[in-house]
Amino acid sequence: MRTLGITLGDPCGIGPEISAKALDYFCKKKLPFKFIVIGNKQSFLKACNFSGINSNNLLCIKEFIDIQSNLRYDNGPSIEGGEVSYQAICKAAQLFKEKEIEAIVTAPISKKSLHLAGYNFDGHTGLLGMLFKVQEPYLMLANKKFSTLHITCHMSLSNAIKTISKEKVLETIKIGHKHMLKLGKINPRLAICGLNPHASEDGIFGTEEKNYLSPAILKAQKLGINIIGPISPDIIFRDANNGKYDLIVANYHDQGHIPVKLLYFDQSVNVTLGVPFVRTSVDHGTAFDIAFKNLARARNMVAAIIYALKMIKN
């Protein structure tokens, strides 16, 4: 039987609530897989209680690993929240290495809480990269229409531009293409965003397209990858949403995140690629302001679990 690890995220955010609701959904389906839940049990039981979920009926939970802490539930970033988040992720990584779980599905954490607790990572992606000794994990957002893979992610825009190179662009394309093939896509259709306005208009607005993007695209095409571009970002996502592409390669965080969250905020899944493990997550944050009010929807968490199962299967 398949076993997935679920980390509850920041215990003061909506992570415990969306996890409880997602687990309740899958338990009622009586599907052939189980979960090891990792996080603060007090927060989880509190979320179950106000959501009207009987935790004793969650038979899909194989084990609950309690990360204990004295929490204040003050609807904001905290040292305690950061510590619980960090310990849960570390435990999930350990369970994956020991083959106790086949995938890691994470509820949202607060980067500020993580930093307050003394762990200066950019979030799940950087922390998991460190735990698995992966130098450059890649972040992809997936939804029912298309996926978006980022060349750079959690860094300033100025640093992102400096980081982009022909080699890094080509590596991103290859990783995205390989993932699409694993999911069963035959000859997946890829397209890459231009970095500058209008993809630079043949160098009028910048040279990154000519120096880095176009050479990487040409090399990828010679490798047999079906990719075109660079295409102006104000057009490419519309075309993808209309079914023209399977995967968009974005240059930096907001270039990929803004259109995806505008179109599919309740449905997108955060996927980590270029790593020796399976990890998915929701594409939203901790939402401290609505935590423990029975207002959070679990649709993204359900989608993240389904995507993780799809990755395991393939």
Give the amino acid at 228. Answer: I
CA 189 → CA 147, 192, 193, 229, 247, distances in Å? Answer: 11, 10, 14, 11, 6
Q: Supply φ then ψ for residue 139, to 5 degrees.
A: -105, 130
- Looking at the structure, tell me whether residues 220 and 236 fall in a common domain: yes
Number of domains in the chain: 2
Inter-helix orientation angle 15-29/41-50, to 10°: 70
Looking at the structure, do residues 187 and 70 belong to the same domain, yes or no?
no
- Please check whether residues 125 and 22 belong to one and the same domain: yes
Assess whether 17 and 75 both reside in one domain: yes
Q: Please tell me the predicted confidence (pLDDT) of residue 302.
A: 95
Q: Are residues 81 and 210 part of one domain?
A: no
Whether residues 263 and 313 share a domain: the answer is no
Predicted TM-score of the model (pTM) = 0.91
H or E element at residue 254: helix 253-264
Q: Which residues contact 284 (CB under 8 A, 6 or more apart)?
A: 108, 261, 265, 300
Q: Identify the CA nearest to 65 among candidates 86, 90, 41, 85.
A: 41
Domain that holds residue 41: 1-137+276-314
Domain with 114 in it: what CATH number? Answer: 3.40.718.10
Domain match, 121 and 172 both: no
26 and 87 belong to one structural domain: yes
Residuewise pLDDT in 10s, the chain (314 residues): 789 999 999 999 999 999 999 999 999 888 889 999 999 999 999 999 999 999 999 999 999 999 988 887 777 899 999 999 999 999 999 999 999 999 999 999 999 999 999 999 988 988 999 999 998 889 999 998 999 999 998 889 999 999 999 999 999 999 999 999 999 999 999 999 999 999 888 888 888 989 899 999 999 999 999 999 999 999 999 999 999 999 999 999 999 999 999 998 878 999 999 999 999 999 899 999 999 999 999 999 999 999 999 999 87
In this structure, are 130 and 189 located in the same domain? Answer: no
What pLDDT sits at residue 226?
98
Could you tell me if 75 and 179 lie in one domain? Answer: no
Token digits for 125? 């992606």
